[in-house]
Amino acid sequence: MYNILVCDDDKDIVEAIEIYLQQEDYKVFKAYDGEEALKILESEDISLLIIDVMMPKLDGIRATKKIRETSSIPIIILSAKTEDSDKILGLNVGADDYMPKPFNPLELVARVKSHLRRYTKLGNAAEDNKQVFTVGGLSINDELKEVTVDGNNIKLTPIEYNILLLLVKNQGKVFSINQIYESIWNEDAIGADNTVAVHIRHIREKIEINPKEPKYLKVVWGVGYKIDKG
Amino acid sequence: MPVKKYGVIKKAIALIIQMVCTAVLAVSIFILFSTFDKSMFKDGRLTEVDYFATENFQNDLTNELKGLFNYIQLRNSFETGGNYNLDKIVDIRDYMESGIITGIDDSGVSYTVRDLIEWGKMGIKREAVSIRDRSGRVTELDNAIKEEFYTVSGESLVTLYRRGTIDSLESFMQFQEDLEKTIKDLPEEVLNYKQQTTKYKNENTNLRYLVVCNSSLYTNVKLTDGKTTLEDIGKDIMSGSVFMHIESKPLLFESSHMDIQAEMYRSIDALKSFNNSDYSIYVSVDTSLPAADSLKSAHATYEKLHSWFWTCLVTGIASLIGFIITITYLTLITGYRDSNKKVYLNAFDGLYTEVAIAILVLAIVLIRYEVDRVYSASVAKTGTFYNVMLLGAVSFVLDALVLSGYLSIIRRNRAGTLYTNSLLYATTTPVKTAIGTKAITLRTGVLYILTMAAFTGLAYLAFGKQLQIAGIVFVFFIIIVGTFLIRESFLRKRVIDGAAKIADGDLDFKIDTNGLKSDNLLIAEIINTAGEGISKSLEDQIKSEKLKADLITNVSHDIKTPLTSIINYVDLIKREDIKDPKIQSYIAVLEEKSQRLKHLTEDLVEASKISSGNIEIVLTDIDFKELVSQTEGEFIDKFEGKNLELCTNVPEGSVHIIADGMRIWRVIENLYNNVAKYALANTRVYVDLSVSEDMAELSIKNISSQALNISAEELTERFIQGDISRSTEGSGLGLSIARNLTTLQGGEFNIYLDGDLFKVTVAFPLVTEEFKQENGRITEDNNDQTV
């Protein structure tokens, strides 16, 4: 049972989120402006904060800044402002995630789970095994041929597994379709083939919360694919 | 810097000093000129000279001697044996011809001096007479002289004519004429003779003379007993320091002033009495000047004025300096009240320049005229002192007038009204304005007429054989026209260059209108204004686009919050265990529409941003082929779901283009989405990547599921979809976003419609060597390009 604080000046949104989170057995605290949220954070043992940006009294950005002075709990910002500059600002002041409105409630729940798992379990999950590769919440145990995201087991086909392993092993490096093809199939890539691209999409659909905005397996359009260093 | 005041008192003092200086300068110059004598200039420096050594004296002496010779001639005419003879016979013809009275009746028409003087007193009367010549022919004269006196022979002219002594009518008329003139002139000469006799009497003149002429002896020297011969008397006369001795036989001229020789001979030769006979002349001047004659008064004037010479030299120089200083000072400060250099004009400066000048000139002329009148009326009875004073006063007044005119011109010039406040300007400005602003044809016409007039003038000069003048004028004309044309074309080039610059998009560029005239100036100003106008309207347009984008962004923010609740609660309802299929279908509609609303708001914000150019583009090296493969990987399932067969055709090897990875993905994604949404199910979709010289082009062809009854252009307009499909899932902004994004990246976007065939092509520039060197291949760590 984790305590989650939801802060938004729109009561209906707060209540809807409460319903979803309660279904997942989280205890929800509600606040309707930044100041209220700060008060609850002081008095209660909160594990995660979901906060709106545009609010009266104290807005989400300034509240996040203040919270970060004393606390390291995961903070997910919700906002109708969807421009890159808004996202960058939110993440820079210390938020862990940024969800544009309107959001898919199930995605929000998934992200909440992911952040909580990382916040509470990471650290002791670090294994010394050289056959284990991790990037953020993504972990590949090459010995067991096992892939987990935030502790959840993911089922991948052998080719999908090999592609993911190649990218995870070479974190930060961009692989073009041909390079991936050649190293997985061990034969020359002839002509255009969307096989690799299709596999990549499938991998994303399996490991990402929102495949359209991948957290792990990223597309460098017109160049290739990569997994950022975790 | 403290402000320096130029008060009225300061100016008035300067003015008065200036006028006094002018008067003093004029007087000084006058005195200097009238007393300066060449003889004073010896060995290069000024020295004091005795009056009798001056040139002035030489001139005075010459005049005096001329008078004397004249007197001698008069004596010769009117005296017989040294005494005034009233009975002396005057031959009127001789008298008229030579001016002397010989005492001999040559022509037969002679009268006595007495008769003529008497006749002169009576005056000439006229009457009508009929005269008859020797042959008896009668002539009627209605205006003949009434003959009061007869000739010495006791006859009248009429009688002489009848007798034949006067042999023709012409001769008769000539005698009448001569008679009339003699009657008028002779009494005058007698009067003159009498005056001169007094003048050259011993006690009245400082001249001592002895003249032998026409065997008569004329002298004012007492002939003493001891010296009986002429030579002795002559030597006695010449013992003085100023003397002259002239002999005609043998030719001799000796004098204390040899410079007067030529003038003496000239005046002697002009006199008939001397001309026709031998003569001896002895003259001397008693330098003690006992008699009050003109030499004495000249001497006195010279002495009087000469004592002023050195004073005047000093005052002249001093007043000249004063003059220059005050005029400079006045020139510098006129029109100013302090050192702030603001120009103040007075009432006089308000007059037209020409009018002011005319008033001054008129005043000056009037004064001069008045001075002449006063001067000529008073010259006889007044002396040098009066003249000097008059000169000073006149100079004073004239200076005041000239100075006020001069200073007014300076002030006008300073205030810039010298020309603008002139009649010339006032009269030519309307004409100029008319020329400048009326139709160009009028101006051209005027120019044409002027040119023609100039050529006509030239032709006139040339035909008048004034070829040199014509040549000079022609060369002058050519130079002026040439200069004008060259200048004009230089200026026009400036205007053209400026216009070209503005046309090239440099809307802030301004043509320098300095030195431009008439047409060029007008064109330059119009172009500048047009540039400003375009620039401004462009700015306004950008501003309004930005405003629109901001408005759309803000509105969509406000839409998104309630939309979030709708989506969330629709989802929550869906999770309730609802059995009723009718309600389930309602919920499905709600869910679909709320999702569509979500896409719409997102696309709307994106489209408005792109079309207002409000996004950042980062151009890098992109492999178009890789991109196509990646995109197909994303869409293959969707296509398969609609049973669309994808036929992709790409060249071998990679295709490197210049684009922004994120943006080009949005373009291609939109195009594939378009296909997925609107392609007719169970058809083929053709994707072709081709490379031309400098572009790589991707074309996507599919069969539309709906009839495309609009134009290709309309398809990319915002909110336009293929008509019927408007009610389906898209926002209608996809193609618009794709097109604008492509253009922003420097690519080309085209749509072709042929029946149900929908074809879209996007082309991007290939990577150049230049671009490679500048940017290099995208690095592996470049996170900006990731999704």
Q: What is the pLDDT of residue B780?
A: 40
In contact, B5 and B338? CB cutoff 8 Å: yes
Q: What is the pLDDT of residue B159?
A: 86
The label of the residue with tokens 């898209």 reads B730
Q: Which domains does chain B have, with CATH numbers?
A: 438-502 (no CATH), 616-785 (3.30.565.10)
Lowest average pLDDT, out of B100-109, B211-220, B221-230, goes to: B221-230
What ipTM was reported for this prediction?
0.77
Question: Read out DSSP for B12-73?
Answer: HHHHHHHHHHHHHHHHHHHHHHHH--GGGEETTEE----GGGSHHHHHHHHHHHHHHHHHHH
B7 pLDDT higher than 80: no
In contact, B25 and B388? CB cutoff 8 Å: no
Instruction: Give yes or no for B558 touching A (CB within 8 A).
Output: yes
Strand partners, B111: B90
Work out the burial of residue B437: count CB atoms within 10 Å of its CB; fewer than 13 is exposed, 13-18 middle, 19 or more buried.
Answer: exposed
The label of the residue with tokens 């940006």 reads A53
Q: Is B577 left (phi over 0), alpha (psi -120 to 50) or beta?
A: beta
Instruction: Give yes or no for B600 touching A (CB within 8 A).
Output: no
Q: Nearest CB to B778: which of A80, A104, A223?
A: A223
Helix axes B384-415, B353-378, angle to 10 degrees: 180
B380 pLDDT higher than 50: no
B446-458: pLDDT as tens digits = 777 887 887 777 7
Top-confidence residue, B588 or B728: B588
Q: What is the pLDDT of residue B144?
A: 85
Look at B571 and A173 and tell me if their CB atoms are within 8 Å: no
Q: Nearest CB to B633: which of A12, A200, A213?
A: A200
Nearest to B598 by CA among B587, B608, B606, B610: B606
B252-261: pLDDT as tens digits = 888 888 888 8
Q: Which two tokens stand for residue B670?
A: 């939109």
Q: Which two tokens stand for residue B681?
A: 């199910």
Q: Where are the domains of chain A?
A: 3-121, 132-227
Look at A172 and B787 and tell me if their CB atoms are within 8 Å: no
B785 pLDDT higher than 50: no
Percent of chain B whose pLDDT exceeds 90: 5
Distance set, CA A120 to CA A30, A91, A117, A124 (Å): 22, 20, 5, 9
**Any alpha helices (H) in B155-293, and if so which ranges?**
157-163, 169-199, 230-237, 261-269, 272-275
Long-range contacts of B706-713 (CB under 8 A, 24+ apart): B706/B678, B707/B756, B708/B753, B708/B755, B708/B756, B708/B758, B711/B753, B712/B750, B712/B751, B712/B752, B712/B753
Q: What is the pLDDT of residue B44?
A: 60
B624-679: pLDDT as tens digits = 988 998 898 888 888 889 898 989 888 888 889 999 988 899 899 989 988 888 88
Q: What is the 3-state secondary structure (H, E, C) of B356-396?
A: HHHHHHHHHHHHHHHHHHHHHHHCCCCCHHHHHHHHHHHHH
Q: A220, A226, A227: which to substitute to probe chain B, counting the most B Cβ within 10 Å?
A: A220
Q: Residue B640: count other Cβ atoms within 10 Å of its Cβ.
A: 11
Q: Which helix (H) or strand (E) holds B591?
A: helix B581-611
- Under the banding of pLDDT at 50, 70 and 90, the label for residue B378 is low
**CATH code assigned to A3-121:** 3.40.50.2300
Work out the burial of residue B157: count CB atoms within 10 Å of its CB; fewer than 13 is exposed, 13-18 middle, 19 or more buried.
Answer: buried
Q: What is the pLDDT of residue B779?
A: 44
Q: What is the pLDDT of residue A210?
A: 84
Q: What is the pLDDT of residue A76?
A: 93
Q: Which CATH architecture has domain A132-227?
A: Orthogonal Bundle (1.10)
- Nearest C-alpha in B relative to A212: B787
Q: Which two tokens stand for residue B332?
A: 């510098």
B434 pLDDT higher than 70: no
Q: What is the pLDDT of residue B303?
A: 76
The amino acid that residue B707 corresponds to is A
Q: What is the pLDDT of residue B728?
A: 53
Look at A81 and B633 and tell me if their CB atoms are within 8 Å: no
- CA B672 to CA B487: how far, in whole Å? 64
B139 pLDDT higher than 80: yes
Look at B568 and A16 and tell me if their CB atoms are within 8 Å: yes
Question: Cβ contacts (< 8 Å) between A13 and chain B: which residues?
Answer: 561, 564-565, 568
Instruction: Give yes or no for B696 touching A (CB within 8 A).
Output: no
B36 pLDDT higher than 90: no
Long-range contacts of B178-183 (CB under 8 A, 24+ apart): B178/B92, B178/B93, B178/B95, B178/B96, B178/B109, B179/B92, B179/B109, B179/B145, B180/B124, B180/B145, B181/B96, B182/B90, B182/B92, B182/B95, B182/B96, B182/B111, B182/B116, B183/B116, B183/B119, B183/B120, B183/B124
Lowest average pLDDT, out of B11-15, B598-602, B778-782, goes to: B778-782
Return residues 610-639 of B near A (CB < 8 Å): 622-634, 636-637
What average pLDDT does chain A have? 85
Look at B625 and A192 and tell me if their CB atoms are within 8 Å: yes
Look at B632 and A194 and tell me if their CB atoms are within 8 Å: yes
Q: Nearest CB to B780: which of A100, A174, A201?
A: A174
A104-141: pLDDT as tens digits = 888 899 889 888 887 776 554 445 556 788 888 888 88
Q: What angle do CA B323, B328, B334 make, to 5 degrees?
A: 115
Q: Do domains A3-121 and A132-227 have the same CATH topology?
A: no
Span A198-217, average pLDDT: 87
Span B337-361, average pLDDT: 81
B379 pLDDT higher than 60: no
Q: B600, B626, B639, B648: which to substitute to probe chain A, counting the most A Cβ within 10 Å?
A: B626
B571 pLDDT higher than 80: yes
Q: Is the peptide bond before A102 cis (omega within 30 degrees of 0)?
A: yes
- CA B35 to CA B54: how far, in whole Å? 10
Top-confidence residue, B426 or A155: A155
Q: What is the pLDDT of residue B225?
A: 58
- Under the banding of pLDDT at 50, 70 and 90, the label for residue B3 is low
